[in-house]
A and B are shown apart, each in its own frame.
Chain A
C-alpha cells in the first residue's frame, strides 16, 4: 500500500478569507514538500498558490514555513519533516488558528513570516527587494572587456565566498527584529552589503556609500543578535555573523 501523508495548508484568498485546508496525498520515494504542493495543485486544487522555480535549492523561490520552521520546500523531504532536527530558539510564527493540527501526523504548511500575504503561500516580496536595492548592491566600476582582468587572490576571494552564496530566498526575514520593525533592512540585505564591503576589488568610495547605508538606525544598529538568520539560512551564508563583522569593523571602532 502506498503511504499517505496529511498536510494542513494555510489558505488566504487575499480578500479576508483565512483558513487551513487538509489534504492527504500518496508519498513517493524522495518526495519533497514542493513535490507535495504540486501534487495538491495538480490533483485537488489548481488554485493553491505558491512560488517555485528550480526545485534544486538555488533559485530561492520556494521559502515557506513547514511545521513552524522556515525552510525551502524543494530541499525538504516529506519523509523527514517529523524527524529532522529543528533549529533552536525560533520565534513563534502565527498566521491563523489551527487548534485541530495534529502535530504528530500532519505537516503544517504556512507562508514566510513578516511579509504581507498576497494569496495562500505567496507573500509580497516588494519590501525585500526595496531594501536590497537600498544598500546599492553592485560594483560601480566602468565595464571593461580588455585583458587582463582585475586580480584577486584566492584568500581575498574566500572572504566573500560564503556571502555570495546567498540566494535571496527571504527565510532570514523570520528574524524577531523584522517582526517588530518593518523598516529593518533585514539579514539578507546586510549580508549582501558585507559581500560588497569586504570584496578586495571594491573602491574606497563605493565602500563608504554602502557603509553609510548599513550604519543607519534600521540597519546594523537594529540587529539584536538573535542569530535566527544564521540558524534558518539554507545556504550557510550566516547573515548574523556578517552583521556582527560589520558592527565590529565599522561601528565599534
Chain B
C-alpha cells in the first residue's frame, strides 16, 4: 500500500480548499486531494458574484462591513453566529481586492474599479461580479495561483474514510480513481473543504459531484452534522434540468410573472419585490404553483425581455447560453421557465462552540466552505455570500493553523494500527458490495432524492416528515445489500458513486430528522404546522449525532450580541 505523509491535507479543490492550500503551502508541506481536477470543482458554477462593502458605486458609498453583516444576520433569520459573520464581512473588501491582485477578471465600472450589482436582501449594491460567471473566474484565478506557487495536488483521489489515533485525527484513506488502489495519507491536520451536498435531493442546481463526501466521512468519525434542515431552495432554476439561473438576472431587473401575468412578488415583499431573499421568493413561487397560478403546475416565468438584447448579452451571457442550449429559449425574446430547486446547504459539518472558525470537536480536523457550518448563513444564505465565505475562511484557516504550529503527532504504531484497521474495513465493504445481490444503487439514490423533494422541500409538515424519516431508515437497510461490481477498480465510477451514496444517505437521514425536530419556521425551513419563528425554544443550532440506537439530536448555542434579534421583514 502507498503511504503519503504531509503536515496538512486539504480535501477539496474548490475555492475554499485552494485558498487554504495557497496559504498553508507557504510554510508547510501541504497537499490538496480532490476527486476531480481543481477547475472542475463546483465553485466554478457560481454565477452572480461575491459580496464586499467596497462602495464602488455612488449608491453604495454609505455601505460598511457592519451593514453587510447586519443584512447577513437578518437574512439568516438570526440563526447565524454573529461574531463569525462580522469577521467575514470585515474581511470581504480585502478578499475581493486580493482576488483582483491575483488577476481575477472582474467586470468594471467606467471608473475602472470593480463593478457591483444589487442582490437579494442587501441594503446596498455590493455584489462584485465577473459577468455571470463569477465563480468560474475566481476558481480559475486560484488555480492559476496554485500553478504559480507549485501547490501539491492529488487529482482524482476520492476521500473514503478518516482515521483517528489517540483521539486525534491521524490521516485519511483515499481511493486513487485511476489505479483503483487505496492510499493512506497521514497528517496531523486535515481540512475538509468538500463542498455542498445538494445531490441528496433529486432536483438540485448542484453538480453531480456534490455528494457530501467530507460531511459523511466526518460523521462516520463521530463529528456531528449541524443545521442540516436548512436547505436553500433557489427560486429560479431552469425547469427541466434545474440548472441555476442566477439571482443576478433579477438583480439586473428581471421580473417574475405567474400565469395571470401578475408580478406576484408584490403580495409577499412589496418593497423588495423580486429582490427579496431567496427563501421568500422560493416560497412565493411555490405558492403560485400550488394555488394554480403557475404554468403546467410546475413553474413561473422569469422575464428579461424588457432589459433588451444588449444588456442581456453584456451582463448575462451565460444565462442566455444556458437557456438556449438546455431549454431552447432565448431570453432576449421569451421568458425563461423557472422553478425553485435545491441550491445550497446552510448546514454541514458541525463546528466547535467558541473554537477557531472551522474547528471541529475532533482534534486536528477542520472544515471550511459549503460542507462546513461555521455558521455564517444561519437559516438562509444571501446571494453573493458563498463565494465570499470560501476565500475568507480558506485564508483565515491557513493563517490560523500556521500560527498555531504543528501539533504533536500520535505515536507511529498507533497511526499504523488505525490506518490498517480502516483499510481493512473498506476492503471488506468493497468485497461485500461485490458479493451482494440486493438493489441497484440507482434505485436507492432515486428514492432518496424523490423522498427529500416530496417530503422535505420548500414547505414541510409533520406527517410528511415522518414519512420521509421512515423511508430513509428503510433505505439505510436497503443500502446495506446493494450490489456494485468492484472487481476491476480502475476508473470504476459505479464504485465511486456508491461510496458517494454511502455519505449521502446519512446526510439525507439527518436532514429529515432535524427538519422534524425543529417545530418552527425560520429562514429556509418552513413548517406549515408551525409557521412562526420560535426563539424561546429554537434559537439554537441543531447537532445530529449517531449512537448505537440511531440518530440523536443535541443543540449548540447561537453566538448573538452584536445585532438584536428581531422580526424579519422585507
Contacts and interface: CB of A to CB of B under 8 A. Distances in A.
Interface string B168-209: 000000000010000000000000000000000000000111
A53 B207 contact: yes
A172 B100 CA distance: 29
A146 B207 contact: no
Interface string A147-190: 11111111011001100110110000000000000000000000
Interface residues of B, number: 66
Given A53-B207, A151-B113, A161 B322 contact: no
Given A119-B490, A133-B147, A57 B325 contact: yes
A9 to B, nearest CB: 14
Interface string A227-238: 000000000000
25 contacts: A30-B241, A46-B485, A46-B492, A53-B209, A54-B40, A54-B45, A55-B241, A56-B326, A58-B45, A59-B41, A59-B44, A136-B147, A138-B144, A141-B101, A143-B101, A145-B101, A146-B97, A152-B108, A152-B112, A154-B108, A160-B105, A161-B131, A164-B105, A167-B44, A168-B39
B101 A53 contact: no
Contacts of A60: 39-40
B290 interface: no
Contacts of A94: none
Contact of A138 (B41, B148, B325): B148
A14 B491 CA distance: 10
Contact of B321 (A50, A57, A151): A57
Contact of A118 (B96, B240, B327, B491): B491
B488 A47 contact: yes
B33 interface: no
Given A54-B40, A58-B318, 13 more contacts: A43-B442, A46-B494, A50-B493, A53-B42, A54-B207, A56-B326, A59-B36, A144-B98, A145-B94, A150-B100, A151-B108, A151-B111, A201-B103
Interface residues on A, range: 35 or more
Contacts of B36: 51, 53, 59, 61
Contacts of B318: 58
Contacts, number: 177
Contacts of A132: 147
A30 B240 contact: yes
B98 A145 contact: yes
Interface stretch (B133-141, B350-358, B368-376, B462-470): B133-141
B490 A14 contact: yes
Contacts of B113: 148-149, 151
B476 interface: no
Contacts of A42: 440-442
Given A47-B488, A52-B208, A118-B178, A145 B95 contact: yes
B40 A41 contact: no
Contacts of B106: 157
Q: Which 8 A-B pairs have CB atoms at the shortest separation, nearest pair first?
A: A46-B494, A151-B112, A139-B103, A42-B442, A145-B94, A138-B144, A49-B491, A145-B98
Contacts of B40: 53-54, 59-61
A194 interface: no
A129 interface: yes
B477 to A, nearest CB: 21
Interface of A: 14, 29-30, 32, 38, 41-43, 46-61, 75, 118-120, 122, 125, 129, 132-133, 136-154, 156-157, 160-161, 164-165, 167-168, 196, 199, 201
Contacts of B95: 145
B32 to A, nearest CB: 14
Contact of A120 (B144, B208, B491, B497): B491
B322 A56 contact: yes
A29 B240 CA distance: 8
A53 B172 CA distance: 23
A199 B104 CA distance: 11
A22 to B, nearest CB: 19
A59 B131 contact: no
A146 B94 contact: yes
Interface in B50-98: 54, 93-98
Given A143-B101, A157-B107, A41 B39 contact: no
Contacts of A137: 144, 147
A27 B220 CA distance: 38
Contacts of A157: 105-108
A141 B495 CA distance: 43
Contacts of A156: 108
A149 B101 contact: yes
B215 interface: no
A133 B145 CA distance: 11
A137 B96 CA distance: 20
A56 B244 contact: yes
A139 B144 CA distance: 8
A202 to B, nearest CB: 8
B530 interface: no
A57 B243 CA distance: 10
A142 B326 contact: no
Contacts of B322: 56-57
Contacts of A43: 440, 442
A38 to B, nearest CB: 8
Interface in B135-158: 136-137, 140, 144-145, 147-148
Contacts of B44: 54, 58-59, 167
A39 B398 CA distance: 41
Given A53-B208, A125-B37, A164-B105, A154 B110 contact: yes
Contact of A55 (B109, B207, B240, B442): B207
A250 to B, nearest CB: 20
A72 to B, nearest CB: 9
A154 B94 CA distance: 22
Interface string B419-444: 00000000000000000000011100
B143 to A, nearest CB: 9
Contacts of A119: 490-491
Given A41-B494, A42-B440, A147 B147 contact: no
Nearest to B47: A58
